[in-house]
Amino acid sequence: MSQQIKLTSLSTTVVRPNHALITGDGFVNSSIPGWTDCTVNIVINKAMGANFAQFRTLLTPASTLTGKAEQTQLFFYVVEGTCTFEINDQSVRLSKGGYAYIPIGHTYTIHKGEDGTELLSFHKRYKSLQGFDVPEVVTGYDKDHEQSIYENDPGLLMRYLLPDQDNMSFDMAVNIFTYMPGANLPFVETHIMEHGLLYLEGQGIYRLDDNWYPVRKGDAIWMAPYCPQWFGALGTEPATYIYYKDVNRHPITP
# binding residues, Mn ion (CB under 5 A):
1
- Give the shortest CB-191-to-ligand UGY separation in angstroms: 6
Residues with Cβ within 8 Å of 144's Cβ and at least 6 positions away in sequence, in order, are: none
Cα–Cα distances in angstroms (integers) from residue 229 to residues 67, 126, 192, 224, in the given order: 35, 26, 12, 10
- Give the shortest CB-151-to-Mn ion separation in angstroms: 11
The closest alpha carbon to 22, from 51, 53, 65, belongs to: 53
177 binds ligand UGY (CB under 6 A): yes
Give which of Mn ion, ligand UGY, none residue 177 binds (C-beta under 5 to 8 Å, depending on kind): ligand UGY
User: How many other CB atoms sit within 10 Å of the CB of residue 232?
Assistant: 15
222 binds ligand UGY (CB under 6 A): no
- Give the shortest CB-19-to-Mn ion separation in angstroms: 12
Residues with Cβ within 8 Å of 188's Cβ and at least 6 positions away in sequence, in order, are: 207, 228, 229, 230
Give which of Mn ion, ligand UGY, none residue 159 binds (C-beta under 5 to 8 Å, depending on kind): none
* Binding positions for Mn ion, 183-202, rule CB under 5 A: 189
Give the span between the Cα atoms of 11 and 157, in whole angstroms.
32
245 binds ligand UGY (CB under 6 A): yes
Residue among 189 and 209 whose Cβ is closer to Mn ion: 189
229 binds ligand UGY (CB under 6 A): yes
108 binds ligand UGY (CB under 6 A): no
242 near 175, Cβ under 8 Å? Answer: yes
